[in-house]
């Protein structure tokens, strides 16, 4: 305020000296600089919050499907099957007249047209076509005389003049000659095949309801380019009901067969010598009919669509006796009308669904949600295919028209349930909370449950506060109220120095020194928990009996100094006794004894160790703030209490603790905030396994440590990356909220003390 008056006066005097003008100008500039600078620094700090949010938000953005293009394949015959190349630029289609066509999507015109196996061999009608694993780009074609063709599309990419050019071609991995599947030359009604590297398999059902398995093996000879092809067909069984669907998984291990009565059978076909039925269940109820099935990518679970619009996921689940059975893993939101077609995504656990009312949806299995839905997708759609990069989905119409829909679907695997709930992952026995963000193989289903990590953080916080809070609060009360001022001047900074110790050093000590120490002296450790308070109480009881000269050396307020050696002796004694106790009662090794007799697991780096290490890091925080709160209790209150005849302890208990309780509470909250975010100690002193178990002798994986471990390895913009940001945002919000609350409590307390 004084500034404004001063300026006015200056102006009033109308001293127009240039020196004063420039001074005022400088003043204004300085003020503006400070304003802009200050606001921007504060803004930059607050930017953290917004940036974290900015990265996290796309996780929850919903997916979009939009029509992009459509055109007619130049062929008079019906499209039986189709696929797309990796860049969604070339469509491959198989037609009922035996022609194979590659068409360019941007130019909407055919690129290559040929007949199966050069046209010479196929004189019979095609009766069944199916695509194998989309990634392997394999297709099998079955004919009316019991013969099959295995073919594969190949796209050569070259960059003449720095422009990408795709040259499509067809490869016959099992040779151009037809594979004679059925000796009896019956028409093949259903077919499914896979081929990878040197081995292929084709499953087929003939018109007289025989189920056949053909095993193909191809080896190239050393001397020539010729392929040495051999194959063998085995009759699996006769099927009583007409077969509606037949699918062989990508690993050529499992064969799924659905009959017209809605019964699904799975066969283990991994070894031709030993084909056996795994399980047979009815996958629909009542009048419902199965209208399509598909494997999810990696072939571990099957999606079943029915005539009522229901979509469900099935998988082989192993029980404790190692016996597999088919189980319904989950049911999805139904489609408005009967399912027409299902199509799996290439690398993710998503799939597309087309119903008879021309609605198109994309689902995600792990997240158990419908990601997107659009209606009215053109006339008479018959088939559905995902493009390899999941950026497009392709629909065939029965009039040889093909249309493309662009998909924007970055993070389908995230739903509230996938992050926090129990999820039944593929090849698991039951729904579980699992965090497993990456694995060596590509067909891995990412498991992003944050629950075990949050659980780990809570576990660490609880154990560390159990250790730190009593010690710090009691210590604070004594230091503030009973301790001699000379000693307090030393003790307070010493304990506060603890706060400055780098946590990496505490973690190192906890992991490499304390953890083995505790493992070796577990009984001694528990005995010292008893011995420390016991020794102080015994000291309290015998102190009045002490000779006068000893009492005079340690006047009131110096008891702590006296207790330091006493406690050291007590700990040493407890550890010594511990060895003996362990020898006498626990076969010399308590952790081992626990696991043998009570089935309590013991990790060397466990929650006990972490709790104490984090507790150590948190003690100074809690101590310092509660000490301030206790010290700030007005003397008038305590003096009044003492004057009324209360003992010092009664005063502490009834007056001081009560008055200072908000301060102590906020101290604990800030301590908790620190424990929640502690990273290095948790990282170094636990095994970092994301298990959910309150056992104090086992480890855990905390949010913070998880971020530190996985962040450097996650790909920018990936779901994993964003989830780690979500974890960071979560930590940020929790600690920020906790600190704010305690800060407000403390400010109120300060006002209260001032009024007392």
Partner 1 sequence: MTRQTQIKKSLALGTPYVWLTSGAVAFCMILVIGVIGLITVRGAVHFWPKPIVMLNMTAEVSEERVMGEIAGTEVVSASLLKEQGIMVPDGLNSIKRLLIKTGNRKLNGVDFKWFNETDYIAGIEIPSNATVVEREEWGNFYGFINSIKENGQVIKPKTSLLDELDKRLTRRHLLVEEIRAIENSDMQKLNGKVERLRLESRRLELKGESKNGQSQLFIEAQLTEIQKKYEFLNNKLRTLYKKIQRDQVELLTGNGVSVLLDMRDIVRVYQPNNMSFGDKLIHYFEKVFEFVSEEPREANTEGGIFPAIFGTVVMVLLMSVFVTPFGVVAAVYLNEYAGQGALTRAIRIAVNNLAGVPSVVYGVFGLGFFVYFVGGSIDDLFYPEVAPAPKFGTPGLIWSSLTLAILTVPVVIVSTEEGLRRIPRNLREGSLALGATKAETLMRTVLPMATPAMMTGLILAVARAAGEVAPLMMVGVVKLAPSLPIDGTFPFIHMERKFMHMGFHIYDVGFQSPNVEAARPLVYATSFLLIIIIISLNMTAITVRNHLRDKYNASDT
Q: What is the DSSP letter of 432?
A: B
**Helices and strands (H, E) in the chain, number of each type:** 18, 31
What's the start-to-end Cα distance of the chain, in Å?
32
Q: Minimum distance between the CB of residue 537 and partner 1, rounded to whole angstroms?
A: 5
Nearer to partner 1, 333 or 743 (CB): 743
Contact 132, 194 (CB under 8 A): yes
Token pair recorded at residue 349: 């656990």
> For residues 410, 416, 421 and 424, what is the CA-based torsion angle, rounded to 10 degrees?
-40
Nearer to partner 1, 564 or 643 (CB): 564
Of 136, 140, 114, 112, whose CA–CA distance to 126 is shortest? 140
Owner of token pair 């039986």: 80
Nearer to partner 1, 351 or 665 (CB): 665
Query: How far from 39 is each of 44, 51, 174, 373, CA to CA, in Å?
Result: 8, 17, 71, 45
Query: Whole-angstrom Cα distance, residue 193 to residue 214?
Result: 9
Nearer to partner 1, 44 or 754 (CB): 44
Q: Minimum distance between the CB of residue 255 and partner 1, rounded to whole angstroms?
A: 44
Q: Minimum distance between the CB of residue 691 and partner 1, rounded to whole angstroms?
A: 20
Of 424, 404, 333, whose CA–CA distance to 371 is shortest? 333
Query: Whole-angstrom Cα distance, residue 149 to residue 172?
Result: 8
Secondary structure (H, E, C), 56-83: HHHHHCCCEEEEEEEEECCCCCCEEEEE
φ, ψ of residue 110 to 5 degrees: the values are -70, 145
Nearer to partner 1, 2 or 322 (CB): 2
Burial code (b: 16+ CB inside 10 Å, e: under 16) for 285-322 equals eeebebbbbbbbbbbbbbbbbbbbbbbbbbbbbeeeee
* Radius of gyration for the chain, computed over Cα atoms and rounded to the nearest angstrom: 37
Query: How far from 83 is each of 41, 68, 237, 365, 388, CA to CA, in Å?
Result: 55, 17, 32, 23, 9
Query: Whole-angstrom Cα distance, residue 58 to residue 64?
Result: 13
Q: Minimum distance between the CB of residue 165 and partner 1, rounded to whole angstroms?
A: 22
Of 552, 518, 501, 406, whose CA–CA distance to 69 is shortest? 406
Partners of 287 in the β-ladder: none
Nearer to partner 1, 234 or 569 (CB): 569
**DSSP string for residues in 699-717:** ----HHHHHHHHGGGSPTT
Nearer to partner 1, 36 or 323 (CB): 36
Q: Minimum distance between the CB of residue 163 and partner 1, rounded to whole angstroms?
A: 18
Contact 386, 352 (CB under 8 A): yes
Q: Minimum distance between the CB of residue 721 and partner 1, rounded to whole angstroms?
A: 8
Q: Minimum distance between the CB of residue 459 and partner 1, rounded to whole angstroms?
A: 17
Q: Minimum distance between the CB of residue 166 and partner 1, rounded to whole angstroms?
A: 23
Distance of CA 455 to the CA centre of its chain: 14
Q: Minimum distance between the CB of residue 10 and partner 1, rounded to whole angstroms?
A: 8
Nearer to partner 1, 196 or 646 (CB): 646
Nearer to partner 1, 34 or 277 (CB): 34
Q: Minimum distance between the CB of residue 506 and partner 1, rounded to whole angstroms?
A: 8
Q: Minimum distance between the CB of residue 495 and partner 1, rounded to whole angstroms?
A: 6
Nearer to partner 1, 2 or 321 (CB): 2
Find all residues with CB under 8 Å of 639, minimum gap 6, and list them.
none
Query: Whole-angstrom Cα distance, residue 496 to residue 483?
Result: 16
Nearer to partner 1, 550 or 744 (CB): 744
Q: Minimum distance between the CB of residue 598 and partner 1, rounded to whole angstroms?
A: 18
Nearer to partner 1, 33 or 271 (CB): 33
Distance of CA 127 to the CA centre of its chain: 45
């Amino acid at each position: 305020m004084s500034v404004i008056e001063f300026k006015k006066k200056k102006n009033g005097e109308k001293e127009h000296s240039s020196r004063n003008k420039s001074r005022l100008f400088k003043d204004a500039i300085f003020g503006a600089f400070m304003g802009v600078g200050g606001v921007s620094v504060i803004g930059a700090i607050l930017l953290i919050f917004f940036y974290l949010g900015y990265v996290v938000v796309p996780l929850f953005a919903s997916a979009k499907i939009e029509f992009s293009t459509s055109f007619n394949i130049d062929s008079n015959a019906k499209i039986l099957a189709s696929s797309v190349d990796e860049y969604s630029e070339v469509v491959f289609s198989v037609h009922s007249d035996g022609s194979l066509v590659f068409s360019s999507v941007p130019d909407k015109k055919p690129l290559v047209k040929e007949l199966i196996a050069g046209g010479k061999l196929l004189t019979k009608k095609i009766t069944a076509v199916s695509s194998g694993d989309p990634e392997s780009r394999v297709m099998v074609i079955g004919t009316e005389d019991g013969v099959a063709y295995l073919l594969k599309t190949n796209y050569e990419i070259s960059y003449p003049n720095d422009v990408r050019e795709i040259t499509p071609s067809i490869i016959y991995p099992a040779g151009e000659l037809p594979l004679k599947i059925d000796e009896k030359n019956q028409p093949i009604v259903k077919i499914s095949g896979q081929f990878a590297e040197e081995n292929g398999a084709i499953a087929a059902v003939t018109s007289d309801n025989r189920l056949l398995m053909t095993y193909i093996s191809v080896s190239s000879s050393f001397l020539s380019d010729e392929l040495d092809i051999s194959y063998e067909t085995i009759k699996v069984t006769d099927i009583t009901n007409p077969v509606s669907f037949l699918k062989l998984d990508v690993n050529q291990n499992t064969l799924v067969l659905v009959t017209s009565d809605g019964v699904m059978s799975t066969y283990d076909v991994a070894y031709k010598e030993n084909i056996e039925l795994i399980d047979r269940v009815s996958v629909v109820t009542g009048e419902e009919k199965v209208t399509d099935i598909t494997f999810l990518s990696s072939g571990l679970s099957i999606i079943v669509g029915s005539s009522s619009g229901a979509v469900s996921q099935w998988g082989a689940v192993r029980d404790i006796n190692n016996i597999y059975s088919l189980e319904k893993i989950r049911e999805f939101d139904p489609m408005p009308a009967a399912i027409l077609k299902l199509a799996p995504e290439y690398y993710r656990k998503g799939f597309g669904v087309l119903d008879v009312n021309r609605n198109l949806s994309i689902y995600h299995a792990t997240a158990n949600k419908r990601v997107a839905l659009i209606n009215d997708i053109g006339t008479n759609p018959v088939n559905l295919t995902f493009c390899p990069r999941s950026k497009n989905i392709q629909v065939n119409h029965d009039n040889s028209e093909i249309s493309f829909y662009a998909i924007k679907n970055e993070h389908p695997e995230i739903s509230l349930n996938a992050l926090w709930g129990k999820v039944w992952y593929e090849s698991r026995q039951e729904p579980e909370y699992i965090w497993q963000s990456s694995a060596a193989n590509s067909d891995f289903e990412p498991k992003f449950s944050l629950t075990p990590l949050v659980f780990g953080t809570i576990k660490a916080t609880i154990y560390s506060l159990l250790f730190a809070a009593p010690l710090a609060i009691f210590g604070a009360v004594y230091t503030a109220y009973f301790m001699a001022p000379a000693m307090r001047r030393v003790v307070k900074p010493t304990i506060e120095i603890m706060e400055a110790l780098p946590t990496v050093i505490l973690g190192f000590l906890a992991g490499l020194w304390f953890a083995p120490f505790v493992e070796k002296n577990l009984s001694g450790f528990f005995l010292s928990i008893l011995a420390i308070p016991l020794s102080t109480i015994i000291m309290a009881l015998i102190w009045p009996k002490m000779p006068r000269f000893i009492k005079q050396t340690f006047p009131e307020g110096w008891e702590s100094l006296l207790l330091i050696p006493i406690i050291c002796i007590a700990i040493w004694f407890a550890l010594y006794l511990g060895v003996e106790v362990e020898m006498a009662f626990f076969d010399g090794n308590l952790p081992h004894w626990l696991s043998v007799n009570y089935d309590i697991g013991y990790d060397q780096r466990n929650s006990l160790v972490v709790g104490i290490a984090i507790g150590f890091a948190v003690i100074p925080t809690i101590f310092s703030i509660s000490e301030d709160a206790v010290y700030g209790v007005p003397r008038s209150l305590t003096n009044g209490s003492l004057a009324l005849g209360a003992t010092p302890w009664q005063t502490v208990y009834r007056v001081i603790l009560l008055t200072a309780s908000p301060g102590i509470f906020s101290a604990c909250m800030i301590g908790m905030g620190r424990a929640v975010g502690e990273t290095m100690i948790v990282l170094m002193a636990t095994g970092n396994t994301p298990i959910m178990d309150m056992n104090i002798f086992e480890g855990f994986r905390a949010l913070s440590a998880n971020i530190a471990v996985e962040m450097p390895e996650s790909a920018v913009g990936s779901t994993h990356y964003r989830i780690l940001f979500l974890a960071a945002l979560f930590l940020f919000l929790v600690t920020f909220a906790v600190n704010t609350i305690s800060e407000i409590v403390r400010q109120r307390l300060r006002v209260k003390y001032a009024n007392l």
